[in-house]
């Protein structure tokens, strides 16, 4: 007897959203938690399993946003759960600033293997790691290190960027004024330059020339406005996240590297959102310049997907750059051993030492394959729905941009599309002015991708009709 093919799992909505228990919690949440929290989607999670999240009323949704690109291995992955449970039974905290821990030493060794490269003299370029609790803290550390190492003050960042919510990080951020309004004065000596967005090329450029146009713009600043020898670092997201899931043209990062070398400026890649395997490579810059060899940064910031949701950030820097003196920087919790255990387990799955059923040799490989499938299907939808102006990305880092008939961004339509998808059981999240991001757990199978795409297509067809 042949076995019938199992039907792919579908979202299960038992109540209208939000259900009664969710409503109660949301009302209490509104009364007692900070007024700064946004609550765009009425969903109160109770438990998760893989790419599925169930709320306190028993509604099960397909997760296409992974808690903003964090839950790399999905929810409650048994390998991650076991690693965390084992570590928590050993010790939870003995401040890494003062005491070494094997679990963080070996984690640093594993992380730097993904960036260290052979040098012309036959040696290997060495890197070091500082551990924090979050992306913003890693960014703060990067700015402090860059200033401390170079003795220069100025930092250049990009428009549309997001680097976090601490004072240094919001100063660097260039995506929304609401992050800054009423909070000044911010960090001094920070400038912003356009990001080379091929769909909306800045500075009168074209999709092909926008990378060079931004480089020329920076060189122009150095002539008339900003002395290059006072610039400590340029910080850039190799693929821009909150700004709209934007992939720059292939020549941009190699040319930026050359510009930095010419002026003795450090190059910082903020890989907090696009890094840790999401794009199909460990770090997103490795899609450019000969596998990253021709656009190697000096400093990398990482967080989000690094530990499957346990709070951990990492600052990776070339050994020649990480020269700040003993005691000059630290953190009580940064490099917490439980978070580090989760990071080891996450890396096991990303690199393929441990395989996840149905996801090929490694989760990085799965991200590349399932991402390519989703992209191909979205291109088909784009041909069908003219309001889908652009679909772009790498691996499971995908953005779909909504446009008005004249090509300008259509944020209102994006909001309606996002909410319809949510109401049909697909957890998703907006970004940029008019973009929905697709950033699911990297354990997403092709079948689950089909389910999600089916929901998206239904929602888009309703908007079109």
Ligand X SMILES: Cc1ncc(COP(=O)(O)O)c(C=O)c1O
Q: Is 67 in the site for ligand X (CB under 6 A)?
A: no
Binding mask 223-252 for ligand X (x = CB under 6 A): --------------x---xx----------
| CB 239, CB 279: distance < 8 Å | yes
Q: Is 134 in the site for ligand X (CB under 6 A)?
A: yes
The span from the CA of 139 to the CA of 269, in Å, is 10
* Strand 313-318 relative to strand 266-270, pairing: unpaired
* Strand 299-302 relative to strand 266-270, pairing: parallel
Nearer to ligand X, 171 or 451 (CB): 171
Classify burial at 366, counting beta carbons within 10 Å of its beta carbon; exposed 0-12, middle 13-18, buried 19 or more: buried
Stretch that binds ligand X, among 72-80, 108-116, 159-167, 338-346 (CB under 6 A): 159-167
Q: Is 163 in the site for ligand X (CB under 6 A)?
A: yes
Q: Is 459 in the site for ligand X (CB under 6 A)?
A: no
Whether the bond into 18 is cis, omega within 30 of 0: yes
Nearer to ligand X, 242 or 348 (CB): 242
Q: Of 267, 210, 271, which Cα lies nearest the Cα of 239?
A: 271
Q: Rounded to 5, what percent of the chain is helix, strand, coil?
A: 35, 15, 45
Binding mask 361-390 for ligand X (x = CB under 6 A): ------------------------------
Residue reference for tokens 């820097």? 317
Give least dist CB 242 to ligand X, A.
Answer: 5
Residue reference for tokens 């998760």? 48
In the chain the first and final C-alpha atoms are separated, in Å, by 44
424: helix, strand or coil:
coil
Q: What are phi and psi of 63, to 5 degrees?
A: -95, 110
Give least dist CB 89 to ligand X, A.
Answer: 27
Give least dist CB 138 to ligand X, A.
Answer: 7
The span from the CA of 11 to the CA of 9, in Å, is 7
The span from the CA of 460 to the CA of 445, in Å, is 22
Give least dist CB 11 to ligand X, A.
Answer: 26
Count of alpha carbons within 13 angstroms of residue 383, beta-carbon side = 5
Q: Is 308 in the site for ligand X (CB under 6 A)?
A: no
DSSP bridge partners of 391: 400
Stretch that binds ligand X, among 100-108, 113-121, 268-276, 360-368 (CB under 6 A): 268-276
Binding mask 92-131 for ligand X (x = CB under 6 A): ----------------------------------------
Q: Is 399 in the site for ligand X (CB under 6 A)?
A: no
Nearer to ligand X, 52 or 162 (CB): 162
Q: Is 139 in the site for ligand X (CB under 6 A)?
A: yes
Binding residues for ligand X, total number by CB under 6 A: 15
Q: Is 430 in the site for ligand X (CB under 6 A)?
A: no
Q: Which of 111, 136, 214, 246 binds ligand X (CB under 6 A)?
A: 136
Q: Which of 52, 65, 130, 162 binds ligand X (CB under 6 A)?
A: 162
Stretch that binds ligand X, among 88-96, 267-275, 424-432, 457-465 (CB under 6 A): 267-275
Q: Which of 67, 164, 280, 309 binds ligand X (CB under 6 A)?
A: 164
- Helix ranges (H only) for 95-198 are 102-112, 135-150, 167-172
Q: Which of 141, 218, 247, 303 binds ligand X (CB under 6 A)?
A: 303
Q: Of 199, 237, 194, 198, which Cα lies nearest the Cα of 217?
A: 194
Interface ranges with ligand X (CB under 6 A): 68, 134-136, 139, 162-164, 237, 241-242, 270, 272-273, 303
């Amino acid at each position: 007897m042949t076995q019938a093919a199992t039907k792919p799992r579908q979202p299960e909505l038992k109540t209208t959203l939000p259900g009664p228990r969710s409503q109660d919690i949301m009302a209490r949440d509104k009364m007692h938690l900070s007024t700064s929290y946004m609550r765009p989607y009425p969903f109160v999670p109770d438990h998760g399993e893989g790419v599925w999240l169930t709320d306190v009323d028993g509604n099960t949704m397909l997760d296409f946003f992974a808690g903003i690109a964090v839950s790399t291995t999905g929810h409650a992955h048994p390998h991650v759960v076991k690693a965390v449970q084992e570590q928590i039974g050993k010790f939870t905290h003995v401040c890494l600033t003062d005491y070494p821990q094997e679990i963080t030493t070996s984690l640093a060794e594993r992380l730097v293997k993904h960036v260290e490269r052979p040098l012309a003299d036959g040696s290997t370029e060495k890197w070091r790691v500082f551990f924090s609790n979050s992306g913003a803290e890693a960014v703060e550390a990067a700015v402090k290190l860059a200033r401390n190492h170079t003795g220069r003050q100025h930092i250049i960042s990009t428009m549309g960027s997001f680097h976090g919510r601490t004072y240094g990080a919001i100063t660097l951020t260039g995506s929304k004024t609401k992050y800054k309004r009423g909070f000044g004065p911010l960090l001094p000596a920070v400038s912003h330059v356009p990001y080379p967005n091929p769909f909306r090329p800045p500075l009168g450029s074209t999709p092909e020339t926008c990378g060079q146009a931004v480089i020329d713009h920076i060189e122009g600043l150095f002539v008339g406005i900003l002395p290059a020898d006072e610039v400590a670092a340029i910080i850039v997201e190799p693929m821009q996240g909150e700004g709209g899931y934007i992939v720059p043209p292939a020549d941009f990062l190699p040319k930026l590297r050359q510009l930095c070398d010419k002026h003795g400026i450090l190059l910082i890649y903020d890989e907090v959102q696009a890094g840790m395997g999401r794009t199909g490579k460990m770090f997103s810059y490795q899609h450019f310049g000969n596998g990253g060899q021709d656009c190697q940064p000096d400093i990398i910031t990482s967080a989000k997907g690094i530990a499957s949701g346990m709070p951990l950030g990492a600052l990776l820097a070339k050994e020649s750059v990480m020269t700040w003196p003993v005691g000059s920087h630290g953190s009580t919790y940064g490099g917490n051993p439980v978070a580090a255990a989760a990071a080891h387990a996450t890396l096991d799955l990303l690199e393929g030492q441990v395989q996840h059923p149905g996801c090929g040799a490694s989760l990085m490989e799965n991200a590349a394959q399932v991402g390519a499938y989703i992209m191909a299907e979205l291109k088909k939808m784009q041909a069908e729905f003219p309001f889908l102006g652009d679909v772009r990305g790498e691996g499971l880092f995908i953005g779909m941009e909504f446009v008005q008939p004249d090509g300008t961004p259509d944020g209102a339509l994006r909001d309606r599309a996002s909410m319809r998808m949510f109401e049909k059981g697909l957890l998703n999240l907006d970004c940029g002015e008019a973009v929905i991001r697709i950033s699911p757990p990297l354990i997403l199978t092709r079948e689950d991708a089909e389910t999600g795409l089916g929901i998206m297509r239904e929602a888009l067809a309703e908007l079109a009709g």
